[in-house]
Amino acid sequence: MQETFLSSQRIFILIFLYINLIFVGIASAEDKFINGFADLPVMPGMRELPDANISFDTTSGRILIAFAESNQSVQKILSFYDNVLPQLGWKNTTSRTFLREAEILSFDFIKDDASVIVRFSIEPE
């Protein structure tokens, strides 16, 4: 009887730990999005520059601008977002512009010595 009780306690503890690990994983995944852009993931190896972010609402929609730095090439960055963004509802209109509902997401690139700075912007259509 006591062995059954101890066994059920172990199962309960394991389930509890498993559920907590799932929630920690979800929280970690949420941290991998550009600040202010709830659905714009940060490319692996990319470092966001949050002090440069701009966000405000207008009567015609929101305007968000964010910057991130990467050691990857512009082509690799575009390839990553070309693959990821359609899964989040964005429709690719050109190689640097996506459309969803009434918003346009665009990318601009500034090449530095050893890195690329990416400017993400969302504006009303």
pTM: 0.70
pLDDT at 48: 93
- How far apart, in whole angstroms, are the C-alpha atoms of residue 25 and residue 73? 29
pLDDT at 27: 39
Task: Note the pLDDT tens digit of each residue in 69-115.
Answer: 999 999 999 999 999 999 999 999 988 999 999 999 999 999 988 89
pLDDT at 6: 46
Task: Note the pLDDT tens digit of each residue in 20-74.
Answer: 545 444 434 445 888 888 889 999 999 999 888 888 888 888 899 999 999 999 9
In the block, tokens 């709830």 appear at: 38
pLDDT-derived band at 17 (thresholds 50, 70, 90) equals very low
pLDDT at 52: 86
